[in-house]
Structure 1
Amino acid sequence: MSSFKQHLKVMIVDDQRTSRMLIRDALEQIGITQVIFAVDGEEALKAMMTSPCHIIISDFNMPKLDGIQLLKAVRSYAPIKKTPFIILTGRGDRELVQKAAQFGVNNFLVKPITVPVLQKTIEAVVGRLQ
């Protein structure tokens, strides 16, 4: 019997390769293996329009389209507007948190991430990962 998490398709949006790899490795340790990468918000948006993912984990600081702009774009495009959106943040930026909350972010993930925290963050959004 295949589990719920094996069907979860997660998009990681981050302009830093190391960061993308770290998150992917952590997701794999949780048992989430369907992972797609985007290097900026623009690429992520295009990918979401052609083959939507179940969850977006996006960095805040990126060229072209940053995390908040991507969140706004996702929320304003009907077919994907309910997609759970988790923003990665490197600092306790109150302003960023407030802005993201205003645009309907589902959760935050503070770098550096750990596997247990990543799992809790995702479960808070999609429910228990069996």
Structure 2
Amino acid sequence: MHEDLIGRIMEAIDRSKKWAEKGWKVTFGRREVEVSSLHQAQSLPQNVVCREEAVNYWTNVDQTGKEAAGYGKKAIAALKRNDLKAAEDAIYFSKYLEKAFVDYTRTWKPVHEAVKRELFK
């Protein structure tokens, strides 16, 4: 029924879950230590001053990505019920959660726009 939208949402869910794994360039501390993923942050030696800050940042990215993915799953369930409005609402929440990282992630806005186009046909 809405197979292309469901496919796009599934791709966005996969990408969203991997934000902290794939990462992007971020620097921490006065020395601007580059830490580009959760794994890299967790691998920093305990005595690195910015380690806790980096781990907290990337843990937040990981949790946010997983929460956004959860709303994506709700959108798929709504589409399977043919409830476009509920799907649009769920994707909107994913897009809202992504705002803090949107310069790096760019995952949910295009999906939200596609769902809105379908909704207002």
Q: Normalized against structure 2, the TM-score is what?
A: 0.29
The structure where helix makes up a greater share of residues is 2
